[in-house]
Structure 1
Amino acid sequence: MKTLQDPQKIKQIGDFYIELKKIHHKYFDFWLHDTFLHWDFLLSLSLAVIPWLLWFKFRKRESTFRLLLAGFFVLIISSWLDFWGTMYGLWYYTGKVLPSMPSFIPWDFCLLPVTIMFMVQYKPKTSPILKGLIFSCLTSFIGEPLFKWIGIYVQVNWSIFYSFPIYFLIYLVAHRLSRVKAFDEL
Structure 2
Amino acid sequence: MKTTHPSYDEIRNIEYKLGQMKHEYWIHHDLFSFQWWVLLFVLIFPWIFWLRYVDKKRITEIVLFGSLLMLLVELLDDIGINLHLWSYPYQLFQLIPRLTPIDNGIIIVAHMFVFQFFEKWKSFLIANLVMATIFTFIFEPITVWLNIYKLEHWKYVYSLPIYIIKAGFIKWVVERLINIKNETIRRN
Does TM-score exceed 0.5, indicating one fold? yes
- Structure 2 spans left out of the alignment, 5+ residues: 183-188
Which blocks of at least 5 consecutive residues in structure 1 are unaligned?
A: 1-7
Partner of 2:35: 40
Report the structure, 1 or 2, having the larger helix content.
2
Q: 1:63, 1:23 → 2: CA distance?
A: 44
Displacement of 1:175 after TM fit? Answer: 2.2
Q: Which amino acid aligns with 2:14?
A: E
The 5 Å alignment of 1:1-186 reads 12-125=7-120, 127=122, 128-179=124-175, 180-181=178-179, 182=181
Shift of 1:75: 0.9
Q: CA deviation at 1:31?
A: 0.5
Percent of aligned positions that are identical: 21
1:64-87 Cα offsets, whole Å, 9 max, x none, are 110111111111111111111112
Separation (CA, whole Å) in 2 of partners of 1:120 and 1:23: 40
2: CA distance, partners of 1:38 / 1:132: 32
Deviations 1:19-78 (A, max 9, x none): 112101111111011111121111101111111111111100111110111111111111
TM-score by length of 2: 0.85
> Is the 8 Å Cα contact of residues 67 and 121 (structure 1) preserved in structure 2?
yes
Normalized against structure 1, the TM-score is what? 0.86
Which AA in structure 1 matches 2:153?
N
Distance (whole Å) between structure 2 residues aligned to residue 17 and residue 81 of structure 1: 24
RMSD: 1.9
Q: What SS class does the counterpart of residue 140 from structure 1 fall into?
A: helix
Distance, in Å, in 2 between the alignment partners of 1:62 and 1:13 is 51
Mean Cα deviation higher: 58-67 or 137-146: 137-146
Take 2:76 and 2:94, find their aligned partners in 1: how far apart are those partners?
18
> How far 1:126 sits from its partner (Å)?
6.0
> How many Å apart are 1:178 and its aligned residue?
4.1
Could you tell me which amino acid in structure 2 is paired with residue 14 of structure 1? D
